């Protein structure tokens, strides 16, 4: 009987090296997977159009176009009603803000000797008029943001 008690009194131990290896791998996995996709700001008042595009969003300047306001990187730039009443083909306050953001990022990026195009993502409600979208896109190109993306919701597969 004393042999039986001697065997059961041994304390159980964990191999800490293996446990630390597992946690290290888990931390690296979470760091890599969380930084690979850039989320666009969530504007509850905006209903994005749906698309079948598989392309993930990049980190760019974000223009949010709601029913009442145009917002760039969280700053209110113009009222939609004022822009729609204007006869001008560009939005001066938007152009000024984009140029201000460009001046803040003074670095000139090049790939293979060619300058990298500045990128902008437009998050517009699916009910905004095309004339407004056209003015915004024209203003972006005049401010040297020639790579324009439109934010959309990914359609769910019906299968």
What CATH number has the domain bearing residue 109? 3.30.420
In this structure, are 98 and 23 located in the same domain? no
Give the model's pLDDT for residue 136. 92
In total, how many domains does the chain have? 2
- What confidence tens digit (pLDDT) does each residue in 105-136 have? 655 555 565 666 688 888 887 788 889 999 99
Is residue 88 included in any domain, yes or no?
Answer: yes
In this structure, are 26 and 96 located in the same domain? no
- What confidence tens digit (pLDDT) does each residue in 39-70 have? 555 555 566 555 555 555 567 888 988 888 89
Is residue 42 included in any domain, yes or no?
Answer: no
What six digits make up the tokens of 87? 């006869």
- Could you tell me where the beta strands, DSSP code E, fall in the chain? 50-51, 61-65, 69-72, 75-79, 110-111, 114-115, 119-124, 147-150, 153-154
Is residue 40 included in any domain, yes or no?
Answer: no
Give the model's pLDDT for residue 101. 85
Structural domain of 13? 2-35
In this structure, are 140 and 85 located in the same domain? yes
Give the model's pLDDT for residue 145. 87
- What confidence tens digit (pLDDT) does each residue in 68-105 have? 889 898 889 999 999 999 999 889 999 999 988 887 76
Write the CA distances from 150 to 35, 52, 73, 96, integer angstroms.
Answer: 21, 13, 15, 21
What six digits make up the tokens of 59? 């980190």
90's CB contacts (< 8 A; 6+ apart) are 135, 138, 139, 142
pLDDT at 35 over 90: no
**φ and ψ at residue 135, rounded to 5 degrees:** -65, -40
In this structure, are 77 and 126 located in the same domain? yes
Helices (H) and strands (E) in the chain, counts: 5, 9
Give the model's pLDDT for residue 138. 93
Task: Give the separation between CA 8 and CA 156, rounded to whole angstroms.
Answer: 57
Is residue 113 included in any domain, yes or no?
Answer: yes
Is residue 69 included in any domain, yes or no?
Answer: yes
Give the model's pLDDT for residue 7. 61
pLDDT tier for residue 150 given thresholds of 50, 70 and 90: confident
pLDDT tier for residue 146 given thresholds of 50, 70 and 90: confident
In this structure, are 142 and 76 located in the same domain? yes
DSSP for residue 27: H
Task: Give the separation between CA 28 and CA 35, rounded to whole angstroms.
Answer: 11
């Amino acid at each position: 009987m004393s042999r039986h008690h001697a065997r059961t009194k041994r304390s159980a131990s964990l191999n800490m090296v293996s446990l630390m290896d597992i946690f290290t791998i888990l931390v690296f996995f979470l760091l890599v997977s969380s930084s690979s996709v850039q989320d666009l700001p969530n504007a509850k008042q905006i209903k994005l159009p749906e698309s079948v595009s598989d392309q993930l969003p990049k980190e760019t300047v974000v223009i949010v176009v709601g029913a009442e306001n145009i917002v760039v990187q969280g700053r209110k730039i113009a009222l939609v009603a004022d822009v729609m009443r204007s006869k001008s083909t560009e939005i001066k306050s938007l152009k000024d803000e984009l140029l201000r953001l460009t001046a803040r990022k003074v670095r000139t990026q090049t790939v293979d000797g060619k300058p990298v195009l500045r990128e902008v993502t437009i998050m517009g409600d699916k009910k905004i008029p095309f004339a407004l979208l056209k003015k915004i896109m024209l203003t972006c190109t005049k401010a040297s943001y020639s790579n324009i993306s439109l934010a959309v919701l990914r359609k769910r597969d019906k299968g």
